[in-house]
Amino acid sequence: MIPERNDPRWTSLLTGKITHKFKSVPAGMCVSRNTREYNREPSPEHLQKVIDETYAFFDKYKNIITEDITAVFGKE
């Protein structure tokens, strides 16, 4: 259900190419915070760091944020 960390959709989400109004406030806050963090220091290494953090959050709470995950990444 959650794409692998190297899936380009993570980059699109955290660089603002994919936008989504999250139903889960904590998920929206996680993405927003990590997007701001990446924009503060836009390097490939820092992008990977924020992808890893966002992935870990989504993986941990995947049972609660299923609707948002499906809306952002589609059904697999």
pTM of the model: 0.92
pLDDT of the residue at 1: 82
Please list, in sequence order, all residues whose beta carbon lies within 8 angstroms of the beta carbon of residue 51, skipping any fewer than 6 positions away. 5, 10, 11, 14, 34
Amino acid at 27: A
Tokens 């999250």 belong to 22
Q: What is the mean pLDDT of residues 28-51?
A: 97
Half-sphere exposure of 3 (CA within 13 A, CB side): 18
Mean pLDDT of the chain: 95
At 3, the pLDDT band (50, 70, 90 cuts) reads very high
Q: What is the mean pLDDT of residues 26-45?
A: 97
Q: What is the mean pLDDT of residues 39-48?
A: 96
Decide if 54 contacts 31 (C-beta within 8 A). yes
